[in-house]
Structure 1
């Protein structure tokens, strides 16, 4: 029964595909380093993270250290847009409705399922499940790196897939990292679009999958069609495999999500701002790295 429910809700994200534009940080902006006082015992987790401080959360799986999205970055439209919505969140009405729907799905469907999953499946087995699905998408990582012109990373993807599929028993183990030093090099279609200069577009909350943007919404839709799992098996088994993958991912995030949700005065604003800050940080430092590489080539 759980599989059927999860198959339906996970299929929902394939209906969303939108496009838009957003502004990149100004290269000439002055970098600011943010400093903060030590957290006090009376400070909530939401306040601590909003102030740029890391927090520790006690969960059923032990203590988890959560880092804030931004610790040092340029002065950009982040300070005005992300705080109030503005150009970063023109679809706030839809996003809030979807955020509420997702929270209900997390609370009443996914969280009970993941609790049962963690109870039935021991931690070493859950790690193997995660490695299996990571290995399954290596061909997609490879293609995305090729289209982005990142041939070295594509070579790592190929090596990891061949080693972990054979020596690692279909990816249940990761000898590519432990024995050959080939670290993970994930790459989504959204990452490739970013490498081509496609801007992220407005903030978007996807069904079940949560925080995203227009560019990654297109990425999710496209990957739903081309994901390697579709070539391993067919409907409905491919949907069931994707559902198991989603449950495994959520099982590692469930406790942290609920703790932060309960701490926040406005959970929607808190999670949105964390996403937008991380997005702008990645855009800024990615641009800086690209500029440095261009200068070195010249």
Structure 2
């Protein structure tokens, strides 16, 4: 094993040991007692999210009082029901047959393989160590963010990517820590190939469920495939180590969302529609945000 890999491996082991000593398990005894209103709000979150997915307005209780929230896009089916004159907006899902089959395959893979593995990962690896592992993978991606932001014409964001990579790779010990954010207030500026294509008004295309990876669209699938060939991990490791690193990175990301997935899937009336609508709504929100940003820049 090369010297630099031995050093990185030793560093991760040290962090694991320190994390095990420094962090207590996430048990009710160690958790701070929350006010009753906050508990009720957290218990209602899946139900509220499902109401939004159905295109309904919801009311959320916050510290500032009740706030009414409306969905960005109403996507409750592929075609209007017979005799429906309510004026609802429907999402055309031309690949629904394939998508539903793939969604079912993914769910079986999650339920019987990835979710149990994620539970074991949470049990064995302390949260503070998982955070550092995630930081290292995020830092490794910064050169790709830089290239994407440059091609998108987002030069200030590209500069932030460069600064973060230099600082976190050195002072941050190969990205395990994030002094760029903590000390220099240089915030992450993630940019995918899909984001760059969107910047040039290339449409997202039909909704698509990718094996194991889950909800996406045609543009996102192209981005995922392309980034697999140009990801910086390919330049620091050779197969099969590069494949192993990418798989572990994906699993680490999944483990951060595993509990949320499990709860939402169990409470959704139609899990496929629910997760599809959540993805589409998030996509529309990002597109509206991007459009707003452009308009503000044009007005300057």
TM-score w.r.t. structure 1 length? Answer: 0.75
Deviation at 1:47?
A: 4.0
Aligned to 1:99: 103
Between the aligned partners of 1:73 and 1:254, the Cα distance in structure 2 is: 24
- Aligned-residue offset at 1:55: 8.3
Q: Does 1:84 align with 2:74?
A: no
**Matching residue of 1:165:** 169
1:110 aligned residue? 114
CA distance in structure 1 between the partners assigned to 2:44 and 2:138 by the alignment: 40
| Residues 185/203 of structure 1: CA separation in 2 closer, same or farther (3 Å cut) | same
Q: Give CA-to-partner distance per residue, 1:97-146, whole Å, 9 cap, x none.
A: 11001101111111111111112111111000000000000000000000
Segments of structure 2 that go 5 or more residues without pairing to the other structure are 1-39, 62-67, 80-90
Counterpart selection for 2:152 from 139, 148, 153 = 148
Out of 204, 219, 222, the position equivalent to 2:226 is 222
Match of 2:86 in 1: none
**Structure 1 stretches of at least 4 aligned residues deviating more than 6 Å after TM superposition:** 41-44
- Matched positions, count: 241
Is contact 2:146–2:157 with CA below 8 Å preserved after alignment?
A: yes
Structural mapping, 1:1-298, within 5 Å:
45=47, 47-50=50-53, 51=56, 53=58, 71=69, 78-79=73-74, 82-85=75-78, 88-294=92-298, 296-297=299-300
Residue aligned with 1:258, SS: helix
Q: Is the 8 A contact 1:49 1:55 kept in 2?
A: no
Residue pair 1:113, 1:247 contacting (<8 A) in 2 also: no
**1:52-93 CA distances to partner (integer Å, 9 max, x unpaired)?**
55889xxxxxxxxxxxxx94577xxx43xx221355411000
Two-structure CA RMSD over aligned residues (Å): 2.5
Find the structure with the greater CA-based Rg.
Answer: 2
Structure 2 CA distance for partners of 1:249 and 1:52, relative to 1, 3 Å: farther
Partner of residue 35, structure 1: none
Higher RCO, 1 or 2 (CA under 8 Å, sep at least 6)?
1
* Alignment match, 1:67: none
Measure, in 1, the Cα distance between the counterparts of 2:248 and 2:166. Answer: 23
Q: C-alpha separation between the residues in 2 aligned to 1:171 and 1:255?
A: 26
Alpha carbons 1:138, 1:157 under 8 Å: kept: yes
For residues 69 and 235 of structure 2, the distance between their equivalents in structure 1, rounded to whole angstroms, comes to 42
User: Does the C-alpha gap of structure 1 residues 231 and 239 become closer, same or farther in structure 2, counting only changes over 3 Å?
Assistant: same
Change (3 A) 1:162 1:211: same
Distance 1:254 1:136 in 2: 23
Comparing 109-118 with 174-183, greater Cα deviation is found at: 109-118
Measured in 1, the distance between the counterparts of 2:218 and 2:212 equals 16
Contact 1:163 1:175 in 2 (8 A): yes
TM-score by length of 2: 0.74
> Which consecutive unaligned segments of at least 5 residues does structure 1 have?
1-37, 57-69
Task: State the secondary structure of the residue aligned to 2:76.
Answer: helix
